[in-house]
Structure formats: structure tokens, C-alpha cells
């Protein structure tokens, strides 16, 4: 019986592979262990070894073609076998998938095709399932490897799919989460806290950011004397937070460095025309990032006013989604916790985040003499796909200059 040869996951995170070379051509036979083809995965080029023997009857994905894990790439069997049925089935399959992806594209933009069967342990185990049950599972996006079949020989039938209530097919994000966490054995004294939705989303988003964006870090020490003096002066009349100053200075510097205020969008980079700065605020059950929109166009007084409202709302869980999503740049300030310096994870869709440490009286050598200055260390995490080192450094230099001479912010 001719069978389909499926693309397998050749690395843990592989979703798709490009067939670089077919070592076994059509009508050539192979035995177990032979390298059928070379597959370029997300990481490297791997050998696809045969786990069976047979003859390649038809190559479905030619050299240079891509296939998702679980998609057929060839048909093999005995020489001369009639494979017209498998081929027409394949054609239908492709049409179905195309139709399905069309629909999915309308619904969600990011997730591409769902693999038909998710291989377990990279091993394409044959799952007995009725055609109807398979169809229902596909429509409901249920991973059939999770369903227990009650038909003859464990065949999954309609009622099994209908009675199945657990999670839909794992998306790429979820697979990553599984890789990130490990199975832990709990003991009596351990406290098990179920993951809140918020915690889960933070985890997913930040994992995605850290996995997909190549981070690099630049740390700069800033003399905060002038900012502190200005603040002290203004605070005779107002009660302005340091964060308002920081946001204002960062926003105005960002305006001059458009590439730092940018994001990667598929095959293009978007340099944002707005400067919306998020400030990470700690809550009991996680972190939230309320946003001061168009901070470059606002004065410190207004920024401070907005911040007070936002932080108040954040602490009471009253923020509307539009008040904490789609910032172009983020600031995380752990100075009040006595942290000297740290690195933060980029908050998408932004391509950079500024981590601010505490202002500390520090001995500094100035003109050959040791003087004591209020020094603040700040670290920029940048997405190297968008921002190069020199660009980030130029921004940090400008930022340092502006912090040290705040009047530059109003230029």
C-alpha cells in the first residue's frame, strides 16, 4: 500500500521546513536509515532519515519548497503502485487547507495553518480515527492525539470528538510555553496557585518577545544632578514625580531617533509617527504598562497629571485596554526598590525598553578629582532586527546628554 511521507519536526521549535535537497529521487528505493532529504529548519539544515523502506513514487514538495510539520511531502510504496487516489486526496487536501487558511486569515492574522495531526515525540504515530471524526476535530481545532477513542481498536469516532472538552489544538505560542515550563513534582508544603489569565498572557507575550526578538543591552550612567535640581525647584509649587521627567526627556529624545521608536512588521519596519510611552507598573497579580500617549507633545505637568490618574487606575485594575496596549516604547523603573541596574524584556510592539535603576550618590572622577554625584544607571534593551548597536548607542548618548542638561528637551 502506498503511503504518504509526512514532514516531521526535526527540531523542537520547528513549524515548517524547506526541502533543500532530495537525496532519493522519484522511483528510487530507500531503506530504513537512509537520508531521504535535507531539510532546512528554523535553526539549521537537518537530514530526514527514513524510518521505513520503500520507493519514492511521487515527490509532493520539490526542492526549495516548504512544508509544515505534519504535511505530506512525498508518496512512497511499491514500484508501479497506483497512487492516483492518494494524489487526488492530496489535491483536495491542499484545496481544503487553502480554504481554511483563507478563513483563518480573516479571523486572526498571525497563526498560520494548524497541523492536521500534531506528532507526538516527533514520531508520526498513526491515529485511528473515522473520517467524520477527523473532519469534526479539524473544524473544532481539536488535537486528535489528545482524544481517547472508544471505537473498535481505539478508533476515535464522532462521539469521542463531540464529548471531548479540553483545549483546542495547541498554537505555536502554546507549544513554546510547554517548552518553557517543566513538569514539577509537588509536595505537601508547596502552595499551588493556578495561573491567572493575566499571568499567562504576561508569560506568553514576554516569552514571545524574548524568543523572537534578539535582545542586546546598552548601559549608561547618567548624572541626575540637574534633573533633581529642576524637580526640587518646580516642586516648591507642584508635586511632580521623577517618572514624569524621565518620560518627557525620553519622549523628546525618541523624536530625534525614529528607529528606536519603531517595530518590525513582517517584511518591513514601521517607524512610528507617534511617541506613546508606557510605564511598567507593578500590581499584585502581575505587571501592567499604562501609556502616556504623544508624550513628546505634552508638558511635564500634563504628563505627571496623566501618570497619576493612570497609576491610580492601574493599581485598582481599572485600566481600559486602550490605556495599556500598543505603546511604541516602554520604561521600567525599579529605582524605588533600590535596584542599581537591570535589563528588561522588550514589550511588543515596541522594539526597545529602558530599564531605570535607582539614583545613587556615587563617587565620580571629574577633571582629575573625585566628586560625589547622583548617578542613575539606565539600560536599553533593543531588538537587533530593528535597531543596530550604533543606533542604540547614539540614542543613549543623546538621552544621557538630555538627562544631564534637561533644557535640551525643550529644544
Partner 1 sequence: MAIITMREALRQAMDEEMARDKNIILMGEEVAQYNGAYKVSQGLYDKYGEKRVIDTPITENGFAGVGIGAAMAGLRPIVEFMTFNFALQAFDQIVNNAAKMRYMSGGQFKVPVVFRGPNGPAEYLSSQHSQATQSFFAHVPGLKVVAPGTPYDAKGLLKSAIRDDNPVIFLESELMYSWEGEVLEEEYVIDIGKADVKKDGSDVTIISYSKPLKYAMESAEILEKEGINVEVIDIRSIRPLDEETILNSVKKTNRCVIVDESWPFVSVASHIGWLISHKAFDYLDAPVELVTSEDVPMPYNHKLELAAQPSVEKIIKAVKKVMYI
**Catalytic amino acids?**
384
Distance, in Å, from the CA atom of 172 to the CA atom of 67, rounded to the nearest integer, reads 16
Whose Cβ is closer to partner 1: residue 80's or residue 152's?
A: 152
Contact 128, 147 (CB under 8 A): no
**Closest distance between partner 1 and the C-beta of residue 86, in Å?**
13
- CB under 8 Å, gap of 24 or more: what pairs does 41-44 form? 41/10, 41/11, 41/14, 41/17, 42/11, 42/13, 42/14, 42/15, 42/16, 43/11, 43/13, 43/14, 44/11
- Sites of contact with partner 1 (CB under 8 A): 130-135, 150-152, 157-159
**Closest distance between partner 1 and the C-beta of residue 206, in Å?**
41
Whose Cβ is closer to partner 1: residue 144's or residue 344's?
A: 144
Whose Cβ is closer to partner 1: residue 90's or residue 271's?
A: 90
Whose Cβ is closer to partner 1: residue 134's or residue 210's?
A: 134
**Closest distance between partner 1 and the C-beta of residue 23, in Å?**
34
**Closest distance between partner 1 and the C-beta of residue 259, in Å?**
51
- CB under 8 Å, gap of 24 or more: what pairs does 116-122 form? 116/70, 116/71, 117/70, 117/144, 117/145, 118/69, 118/70, 118/143, 118/145, 118/169, 118/170, 119/6, 119/8, 119/9, 119/69, 119/70, 119/145, 120/145, 122/8, 122/9, 122/10
**Closest distance between partner 1 and the C-beta of residue 158, in Å?**
4
Strands (E) across 110-256 are located at: 215-223
Whose Cβ is closer to partner 1: residue 158's or residue 400's?
A: 158
Mark residue 54 as left, alpha or beta (left: phi above 0; alpha: psi -120 to 50; beta: remaining).
left
Amino acid at each position: 500500500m502506498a503511503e504518504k511521507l509526512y514532514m516531521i519536526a526535526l527540531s523542537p521549535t520547528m513549524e515548517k521546513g524547506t526541502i533543500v535537497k532530495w537525496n532519493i529521487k522519484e522511483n528510487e528505493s530507500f531503506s530504513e536509515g537512509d537520508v531521504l532529504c535535507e531539510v532546512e529548519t528554523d535553526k539549521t539544515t537537518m537530514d530526514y532519515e527514513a524510518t521505513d523502506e520503500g520507493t519514492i513514487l511521487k515527490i509532493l514538495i520539490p526542492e526549495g519548497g516548504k512544508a509544515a510539520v505534519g504535511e505530506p511531502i512525498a508518496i512512497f510504496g511499491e514500484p508501479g503502485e497506483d497512487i492516483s487516489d492518494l494524489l487526488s486526496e492530496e489535491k483536495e487536501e491542499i484545496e481544503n487547507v487553502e480554504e481554511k487558511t483563507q478563513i483563518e486569515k480573516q479571523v486572526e492574522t498571525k497563526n498560520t495553518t494548524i497541523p492536521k495531526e500534531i506528532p507526538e515525540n516527533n514520531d508520526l504515530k498513526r491515529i485511528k480515527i473515522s473520517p467524520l471524526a477527523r473532519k469534526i476535530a479539524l473544524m473544532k481545532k481539536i488535537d486528535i492525539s489528545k482524544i481517547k477513542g472508544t471505537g473498535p481498536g481505539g478508533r476515535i469516532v464522532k462521539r469521542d470528538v463531540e464529548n471531548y472538552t479540553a483545549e483546542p489544538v495547541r498554537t505555536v505560542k502554546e507549544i513554546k510555553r510547554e517548552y518553557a515550563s517543566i513538569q514539577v513534582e509537588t509536595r505537601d508544603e508547596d502552595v499551588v496557585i493556578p495561573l491567572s489569565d493575566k499571568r499567562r498572557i504576561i508569560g506568553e507575550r514576554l516569552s514571545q518577545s524574548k524568543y523572537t526578538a534578539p535582545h542586546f543591552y546598552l548601559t549608561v550612567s547618567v548624572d541626575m544632578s540637574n534633573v533633581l535640581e529642576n524637580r526640587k525647584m518646580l516642586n516648591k509649587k507642584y508635586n511632580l514625580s521623577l517618572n514624569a521627567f524621565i518620560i518627557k526627556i525620553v519622549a523628546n529624545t525618541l523624536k530625534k531617533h525614529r528607529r528606536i521608536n519603531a517595530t518590525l512588521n513582517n517584511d518591513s519596519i514601521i517607524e512610528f509617527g507617534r511617541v506613546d510611552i508606557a510605564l511598567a507598573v507593578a500590581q499584585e497579580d502581575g505587571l501592567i504598562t499604562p501609556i502616556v500617549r504623544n508624550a513628546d507633545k505634552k508638558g511635564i505637568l500634563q504628563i505627571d497629571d496623566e501618570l497619576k490618574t493612570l497609576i491610580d487606575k492601574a493599581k485598582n485594575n481599572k485600566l481600559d485596554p486602550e490605556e495599556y496596549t500598543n505603546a511604541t516604547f516602554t520604561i521600567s523603573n525599579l529605582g524605588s526598590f533600590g535596584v542599581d541596574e537591570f535589563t528588561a524584556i522588550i514589550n511588543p510592539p515596541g522594539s526597545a525598553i529602558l530599564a531605570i535603576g535607582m539614583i545613587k550618590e556615587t563617587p565620580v572622577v571629574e577633571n582629575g578629582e573625585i566628586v560625589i554625584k547622583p548617578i542613575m544607571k539606565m539600560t536599553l534593551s533593543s531588538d537587533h532586527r530593528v535597531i543596530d548597536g550604533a543606533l542604540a548607542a547614539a540614542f543613549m548618548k543623546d538621552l544621557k546628554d538630555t538627562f544631564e542638561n534637561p533644557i535640551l528637551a525643550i529644544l
